[in-house]
Amino acid sequence: MKSIVILTGAGISAESGLKTFRDSDGLWEGYDIAEVATPEAWQRNPALVQEFYNMRRKSVLEAKPNEAHYALAKLEDKFNVTIITQNIDDLHERAGSTNVVHLHGIITRSQSSINPNLTYPINGWEIKMDEVCELGSPLRAHVVWFGEAVPMIEKAAQICDGAEIFILVGSSLAVYPAAGLIDFVPRHTPKYIIDPKIPYLSDSSFIRIEEKASVGVPQLVNELLTDDLDS
């Protein structure tokens, strides 16, 4: 089976009602990012940071996968599929995708505030301030904050290097190092981008589908599955 690598960004989750990155005014769901999404914010006011991610987790659990998520899961019928997502929700998994790499963590898990390798499932939507890891440190959301390293980026780059088909969905390519992953995709690999506003691409070989994810992804998936059946 051919290997398809899909990089997804905020656009695919936005259609499920989730804001997964900041708006143009620099606020994230009404919060200043510096106050809720940095290690310094956790040091200053951990209760505020915890509350912010608890509410975002609640929103994620209430959201449902959309047509784009379900369409990408269908690709596993005929292809070896890896989804690399910048999003911290679990909508890909809930739609049925089985091989998902979360670059920025996943909000439905918690982690130790002193050892990010210690992660735990969350019972419900809330992490309480008195919950601690096995080292006795408070638990926080399992997400990568601004100013922290992205531990999965090297693995993601290796995956992109092996792509036989590459699809970019709903990303403005504004967040690094994730945006740099397209540079690891082999030159000869067929590449597609799906977005209602296609960002600037230095690689002119991308096939552009200027649609929102819920329209463009099912369209492309149907084409790829049909082509595979005909080949």
| Length of the chain measured in residues | 231
Strands (E), 66-138: 80-85, 100-102, 105-112, 119-121
Q: What secondary structure letter does DSSP report for 114?
A: S
Which structure tokens are listed for 107?
């909000």
Alpha helices in the chain (DSSP H): 10-14, 33-36, 39-44, 46-62, 67-74, 91-95, 153-161, 213-230
List 92, 104, 142, 188, catalytic entry: 104
In angstroms, rounded to a whole number, what is the distance separating the alpha carbons of residues 62 and 158?
Answer: 34
Residue located via tokens 């082509």: 227
* 102: annotated active-site residue: no
Q: Is 167 helix (H, G, I), strand (E, B) or coil?
A: strand
In angstroms, rounded to a whole number, what is the distance separating the alpha carbons of residues 87 and 9?
Answer: 6
What are the residue numbers of the active site? 104
